Structure 1
């Protein structure tokens, strides 16, 4: 069903109406693999049929959606919430006034100081929102079309090239592991250490760790096989030496059903990515390792960097990390400085010949 673009009595309410429609559209199109409360999802869908009174009420619904396992909703809603909070100050009388220049002006304010990765999330959310409006609005004179593409938004430094990721070198990884083994977690020490070590020793994404169920783990001689539920509802298998995690395997004995998630909290729900990243940040802090980005993804980069450095096999890196494209894996070749050392020797030879 399509609706008039300015469907409420004022601009603010019209924006809230469309944000509610877009939020409902996204929660029913994102993956529901981790959904643990279908009844609550139904109730939220019903509530979204009525325009919330304010952005805070809509924000609370978005948080409930995230808490019941609809992964990725924050990527879309949080930028749009910030956008709404800014655009209402412009005192507009119609959504039809919004154009690309105005959107860029608002983005310049709300994304100041953010990383390029965060800015890309804002771009994705806002472009998707206006595409949704294009497909769903219809007035007496036809649909209004927003030409919001943000191709020339200068907030993204597209010409600067791909930024090299943060990672630990081999000595730092050894120090990190030593500190992790000695770290005194307040609770569930084996659970926390097992999750962190799996990330570091296999390079899998933190959300892939959190999706692991007991049935996804099997043992063969000295190897542990992990069946990973990856991006795009695809699966792959990674292996690790059982001796690397042997001290923490008693934790698995308390998990009863094969379909149970392995890494859960007190509420029997899967741990969050933010929780795992905080654990890792605390260990890094105690180890005295300082990085610009200290979260779980840095461990993935560390594994990939070490793997390429040791094996010089880009296809192996691609397979191990589950990259869809080999080009994504190429970034780890930038850390291979063997050829750069040859260049340094050539320069040294020039000096010796003089």
Structure 2
């Protein structure tokens, strides 16, 4: 069913109407392999049809969708939430006031401090949203309003000035962090689980989304190590390993208190997967407790730390690519920037 681009309500309500329907459209199109609460997701899809009175209500629902297992929905939502605030401050009264020039102004002001990868996500979110509007709006006389947004001439991505090197821990900081994992005052029921979870991410370099979905059938002991099969982006499987001695104690304690009988290695007390936001908050608290502060203190920083140390020790870019599950080796090349042995050669030129 199609709707007029501008309804009789205020601009705020009109934008929220379209954003809610767009988010619903994206949820139904994204991978649902990790969904852990089908009933609640079905309810949310109905709520998105009814719409919301405020952006805060919609934001809470999107956060819930992520926790349910549609993790990538925020890639579309965050830029469009920022656009909502930008348009309100601009004083927009009609959806028809939005054009390429206004969107370019938005990108220039809102993404100036972001990486090129994030800038690209913003651009894609805008193009996808307005393509959706092109297809779904229709006036009473049957006419359709076309945006035709392409943003080809936006110059925010020219060059590599927006690219940032990833945050990672130095070797001494890693030692401090590992000690802090053992001493941090977790709640007794989840202490072993949290230590196990963080160690697996740190010692294998797997993504947080991969860690929270480890199936027990894919977690097997092999000699003095555990072999873990994980599924990365695009549902591509790969295998990582971790020494048994690193997780033996925590794994034993977690298995003794784990109340759920599901097949997840790591879960909450109801048996549902842990959220990525929860894990990142735990990692950040441990880091801050020992005075380690990085530009990004979340759990993904542990993956960068693993990859950096792996390359420094092995000088094997193929090994880094295979361990991290990168489809393109050029993605792995970022870690060559931290090769101190090669950099030291530059100090002897003169």
Q: Report TM bin, short chain.
A: 0.7 to 0.9
> Are positions 1:323 and 2:326 aligned together?
yes
Equivalent residue, structure 2, for 1:351: none
Structure 2 residues without counterparts, runs of 5 or longer: none
Aligned partner of 1:350 in structure 2 is: none
Over 3 Å counting, the alpha-carbon distance change for 1:138 and 1:296 in structure 2 is: same
| Pair 1:288-2:291 in alignment | yes
Name 1:339's counterpart in structure 2: 342
Contact (CA 8 Å) 2:266, 2:274: kept in 1 or not?
A: yes
C-alpha distance in 1, partners of 2:93/2:349? Answer: 68
Maintained 8 Å contact 1:130/1:146: yes
Q: CA deviation at 1:291?
A: 1.8
Over 6 Å off, 4+ runs: none
* TM-score, with length taken from structure 2: 0.88
Q: Provide Cα deviations, 1:127-153, integer angstroms capped at 9, x if missing partner.
A: 221121123334446433323333444
Residue 269 and residue 341 in structure 1: after superposition, are their counterparts in 2 closer, same or farther (change >3 A)?
A: same
In the alignment, is the contact (CA less than 8 A) between 1:224 and 1:239 conserved in 2?
yes
Change (3 A) 1:89 1:299: closer
Distance 1:108 1:147 in 2: 20
Aligned CA RMSD, in angstroms, stands at 2.6
Taking structure 1 as the reference length, the TM-score comes to: 0.87
The answer on 1:61 being equivalent to 2:61 is yes
Q: CA deviation at 1:13?
A: 3.4
> 1:213 touches 1:258 (CA, 8 Å); kept in 2?
no
Larger radius of gyration: 1
Report the more deviating stretch, 145-154 or 72-81: 145-154
- Assess, with a 3 A threshold, how the Cα gap between structure 1 residues 68 and 8 changes in structure 2: closer, same or farther: farther
Show the counterpart of 1:19.
19
Please say if 1:247 is aligned against 2:249: yes
User: In the superposition, relative to structure 1, how do residues 66 and 162 fare at CA in structure 2: closer, same or farther (>3 Å)?
Assistant: closer
Quote the residue 1:146 is aligned against: 147
Which of these residues, 192, 195, 203, is aligned with residue 193 of structure 1? Answer: 195
Q: Answer whether contact 1:264 1:270 (CA < 8 A) is retained.
A: yes
Structure 1 SS opposite 2:49:
coil
Structure 2 residue corresponding to 1:232, chosen from 231, 234, 238: 234
**2: distance between equivalents of 1:77 and 1:184?**
35
Q: Is the 8 Å Cα contact of residues 210 and 230 (structure 2) preserved in structure 1?
A: yes
For these two proteins, the number of residue pairs brought into alignment is 347
For each residue in 1:93-149, what CA deviation from the matched residue of structure 2 results, as whole angstroms up to 9, or x when unmatched? 532221012123344555576565554443332222112112333444643332333
**C-alpha distance in structure 2 between counterparts of 1:157 and 1:297, whole Å:** 27
Shift of the 120–220 alpha-carbon distance from structure 1 to 2, 3 Å rule, reads: same
Show structure 1 runs of 5+ residues with no match: 348-354
Offset at 1:190? 1.1
Deviation, structure 1 residue 253: 4.6
Alignment of 1:1-354 (within 5 A): 1-108=1-108, 110-111=110-111, 118-139=118-139, 140=141, 142-153=143-154, 158-160=159-161, 162-187=163-188, 188-250=190-252, 251-255=254-258, 259-347=262-350
